[in-house]
Structure 1
Amino acid sequence: MESEKGSQAEVEVIHAWSGPRSLSTVLMYSFSQRDDIDVLDEPLYATFLQVTHAERPYREDVLSKMESDGNKVVKEIIYGPGNKRFRYCKHIAKQRVPGLPIDLMKKGKHFILIRNPLDILPSFNKVVPPSFIESSLGELVSIYSELCRLGKTPPVIDAADLQENPEATLRCLCEDLQIPFQTSMLKWEAGPKPIDGVWAPWWYASAHKSTCFAPARKYPVEFPLSLYDLLEQSLPFYNLLKRQVKRVSSLPPPDLPVPANEKLLAWVGDEILPRESAKVSVFDSIVQGGDSVWEGLRVYDGKVFKLEEHLDRLFDSAKALAFQNVPTREEIKDAIFKTLIRNGMFDNAHIRLSLTRGKKVTSGMSPAFNLYGCTLIVLPEWKPPVYDNTKGITLVTATTRRNSPNNLDSKIHHNNLLNNILAKIEGNNASADDAIMLDKDGYVSETNATNIFLVKKGRVLTPHADYCLPGITRGTVMDLVVEEKLVLEERRISLSEFHTADEVWTTGTMGEISPVVKIDGRLIGDGQVGSITRRLQSVYKNLTEAAGVPIPTYGKA
C-alpha cells in the first residue's frame, strides 16, 4: 500500500448509503466481522446535527464526542489512514448535508441499501414520528443520480433480499464492490458493539438482539393509516431505486424482441409515463374483467395509417358496451400524436390503443361502480411486421372455437381475448405461427389474431365477418382486390377449402399481409408465396406510403 504513515496506510473506503430502519445497522455488523475492514457508524451525524440544528435526545452527546466539521470528517476520518485494507462507512443519506467536500462522492466505492416504506415507516414510527425527509428516500435517489453522473453507478440492494437470501445477496454485493466475500459476514454475537454510535440505545434494540440476517416475519404488522399519505409520497422513490436492484434469486430479465423498446413512453389516463411506470389502477375495469376496447394502429413515414377508421370502430365498440364519459375523438388523437412525438416514433411503429371503462370505486362487476370516467392507454412500440412476410408462415387448426354472436359479438373489438389466447396456446404447442379458429358449425372464421383469405383458380375468398372481427386491414385488402380487378367472394368457407387452396394469406395491422405456406401439415399450393399474394402486398405497401393522417410537427424544423 501507498502513503505509509507509521503502522497505518491509505485505506479503500466503502460507503453504504441508506435510510433509517433499513437493516443498515445489521449490515454494518455483518461487514464488521470481516478481517480486512474497520467500520465507522454514521461519521457524518454530528455534522448533520450541527448544520440542520435537528433536535435529538442525544444531540449534545453526539456533538461533544464526534467531529462536526464536515471537511475534517471527510478528509481525516472517512479518508484518513487506517490499519485495515478497507473502511466501511455506514451513512444515513439525509446526513449528506450541503458543503461537504466533493471527494466524499468522487472517491471510494459506494452502494445503496433500500427498504420498502411499508416496513420502514411503522418501524420508524415506534421511535419518532416519520417524515419524507427523515426517510431519506429523496436523498437516496439524489445520491444515486449523482454517482451515475460521476460514472460510479452504485449497486443497489434491498433489505428484503438480505432477509430472504443473505449469502447470495452479500456475495453479489461483494462482487459488485470488487472485494472477496467472507463467510464470517453471515453471523455475529448479540448485544451492543464497540462500533455503535452514541445513539444506539435509542435505535439499535432490535439490532442488538440479532446474530444474523433473520428472515422477515411471515405476516407483516398492521400499517397505520395515519402514515398512508406519507407512504404514497415515498413509494415512487423506493420503486425507482428498486428497479436498479440486481435480482440474485429470480429469473434473468428476458430479452426484448426490439431492444429499443426498453426505453419508451406510454400514455395512461391523462399523462405520459416511462415504460416501467405506465400502469393502471388495480380497480380499473381492464384488470377486473377485461372490460375494455382496443385498436392496433401502424405508423408509416410520419402518418398514422387508417386512423379515422380505427377510431370509428373504437367508438362503436365503446358504445356497444355502454361506456360512459368517453374521451372525445380529438382528445384521443391528441394523446396518440403527443405520445408518438415524445417517443420520436414516426415510422415502423405500432400503437396498441386501449380504452377501458375506467376505475371503479370498489371492486365488482357492475358498471355502476365506474364513476371516474374511461382510462385511455396509448402504447407505442418500435415493431416491424410480426410475421415472415417474405417466406410465409404456418398455421394449425385449433380445437377452440371462435365466439358466437350469441355469446359475445366479435364486431365489438374488446379486450376479453381468452378465447383467442387458448387457440394461440394450441398454435404454440404445435410450433405454428398462429392457429385457425372455426365457428360453431365447423367453418373457418379467422386465426387467433388475424383475418384470413384464400385464392382458388384466380378467385379471392374470405369468410363472412359473422364469427370474426371485420378487420380494418381486412377491409382495406378487400378494396384492393376489387381495385386490382380480381373476383372477390365473401362466404362460408370450410377447412378443406383452405387445405386445397392455391394461395392463402392473413391480414392484420401487426402483420400486414402475411403469406401462409402450410396449414395442418399440408402445403398450400406449391409451398411458395403466390403471385396474387405478392401483387397485393405490393399495392398495400404503396397505399401505406401514400395514405394516413399526418403526425403534427413531423418533417418540420
Structure 2
Amino acid sequence: MKIIAWSGPRNLSTAMMYSFGNRPDFEVMDEPFYAAYLAATGLDHPMRDAVIASQPTDPEEVAAICAAEPARHGYQKQMAHHMLPGFPMDWAEGAVHVHLIRHPARVIASYGVKRDDIAEADIGFAAQAALYDRVGGLVLDTADLRDDPAGMLARLCAAAGVPFDPAMLSWPAGGHVADGVWAAHWYNAVHRSTGFAGPEGPLPDVARDDLLRSAMPFYNAMKARALQPSDQSAS
C-alpha cells in the first residue's frame, strides 16, 4: 500500500516521516516535488540552488517516481502547496491520503524562526484544504498526536488499513537517509529528537494577524474532519 501524507511546513511532517520510516515494512520519501515547485515559481527559498540540484525539476518525471510501487509499503511526505496548477496528480490515485494539520498560530511562529518573508502560499492552508476537497482522505491534528502519540498513531493506522507498530513511537537521533538536502536548514530540532515531543503549551502570539486570519477558516474546516482522540470518540 501507499500512504501520501499532505501537509504544510512546520507541522510535524518530518517527525511523521521518521515515525513511518522506523517501521521495517515501510519506505519513505521526502518532498519529491520541492525542486519542481521552486523551479516553476522562481521562489527564493533557503538552499534553493542545492534543492534544485538534488531533485528532478520536471513535474512529470517526479510524478513517475511517486507513482512507482515501492518494494515494501510506501509513505510519501508531500507539501500540499508544492502541487501547482498543471502539475500531474494521477500518480496519487489509489493511495491512502493523510492530511496533517496544525494550528496556524503555531505554524506561523515556527516558520518565522527559519524564514523572515512569509506569504500565505508558504504555509499552505488554502492549498491543503483545496487538495482535501479533491482527494479526500484522513485528517490528523498534530496537537492530538503530541498529546497521545501511541493512541493517535494506532487510530491512524487502523483507519489507513495497516497494523500499528510500536516502532513508530521512536527513531534514532540524527536524521534519516531519505532526508532531502534542505534538512540542513529545516530539520535541526527533529534531528535532535528520538520521538514525538509532548503536548504544546499556550498558543504563541504572532505578529502576522493577516496570515492568521486568512488561515483559520481553512484550519477550522479541516479540524472538523480530523480523527478524534479516543476519549472524545467514545462520548
Same fold at TM > 0.5: yes
The one of 120, 134, 138 equivalent to 1:132 is: 120
Contact conserved, 2:146 with 2:200, CA < 8 A, in 1?
A: no
The one of 222, 230, 233 equivalent to 1:249 is: 230
Q: CA deviation at 1:101?
A: 2.3
Tell me: CA distance 1:23–1:97, structure 2 relative to 1, closer, same or farther (3 Å): same
Partner of 1:39: 28
**Is residue 71 of structure 1 aligned with residue 49 of structure 2?**
no
The one of 143, 160, 167 equivalent to 1:177 is: 160
Tell me: CA distance 1:172–1:252, structure 2 relative to 1, closer, same or farther (3 Å): closer
Q: CA deviation at 1:38?
A: 0.7
User: Matched residues in 2 for 1:217 and 1:233: separation?
Assistant: 23
Q: Equivalent residue of 1:250, what SS?
A: helix
**Is residue 165 of structure 1 aligned with residue 148 of structure 2?**
yes
User: Matched residues in 1 for 2:87 and 2:234: separation?
Assistant: 38
User: Matched residues in 2 for 1:101 and 1:121: separation?
Assistant: 29
Partner of 2:47: 58
Alignment of 1:412-431 (within 5 A): none
**Is residue 223 of structure 1 aligned with residue 210 of structure 2?**
no
User: Matched residues in 1 for 2:208 and 2:234: separation?
Assistant: 34
User: Matched residues in 2 for 1:17 and 1:29: separation?
Assistant: 15
Q: Which amino acid aligns with 1:93?
A: A
Report percent identity of matched pairs.
35
Tell me: CA distance 1:219–1:235, structure 2 relative to 1, closer, same or farther (3 Å): closer
Alignment of 1:396-415 (within 5 A): none
1:355-410 deviation per Cα after TM superposition (whole angstroms, max 9, x unaligned): xxxxxxxxxxxxxxxxxxxxxxxxxxxxxxxxxxxxxxxxxxxxxxxxxxxxxxxx
User: Matched residues in 2 for 1:250 and 1:131: separation?
Assistant: 36
User: Matched residues in 2 for 1:192 and 1:163: separation?
Assistant: 19
Q: Higher strand fraction: Structure 1 or Structure 2?
A: 1
Tell me: CA distance 1:252–1:82, structure 2 relative to 1, closer, same or farther (3 Å): closer
The one of 117, 122, 146 equivalent to 2:109 is: 122
1:193-239 deviation per Cα after TM superposition (whole angstroms, max 9, x unaligned): 2111110111111111111111134455x413x21221111111100
Q: Equivalent residue of 1:15, what SS?
A: strand
How many residue pairs get aligned? The number is 234
User: Matched residues in 1 for 2:63 and 2:154: separation?
Assistant: 28
Q: Which amino acid aligns with 2:39?
A: Q
User: Matched residues in 1 for 2:81 and 2:70: separation?
Assistant: 26
Partner of 1:407: none
Q: Equivalent residue of 2:27, what SS?
A: strand
Q: TM-score, normalised by structure 2?
A: 0.94
Q: Which amino acid aligns with 2:14?
A: T
Tell me: CA distance 1:35–1:234, structure 2 relative to 1, closer, same or farther (3 Å): same
Tell me: CA distance 1:252–1:109, structure 2 relative to 1, closer, same or farther (3 Å): closer
Partner of 2:86: 99
User: Matched residues in 2 for 1:212 and 1:94: separation?
Assistant: 27
Partner of 2:75: 88
The one of 18, 36, 43 equivalent to 2:7 is: 18
Structure 2: runs of 5 or more not aligned: none
User: Matched residues in 1 for 2:141 and 2:20: separation?
Assistant: 16
Alignment of 1:345-424 (within 5 A): none
Tell me: CA distance 1:102–1:201, structure 2 relative to 1, closer, same or farther (3 Å): closer
Q: Which amino acid aligns with 1:127?
A: K
Partner of 1:308: none
Partner of 2:137: 154
Alignment of 1:227-238 (within 5 A): 227-238=208-219
Structure of higher RCO (CA pairs closer than 8 Å, 6+ residues apart): 2
User: Matched residues in 2 for 1:52 and 1:238: separation?
Assistant: 25
The higher radius of gyration belongs to: 1
Contact conserved, 1:28 with 1:39, CA < 8 A, in 2?
A: yes
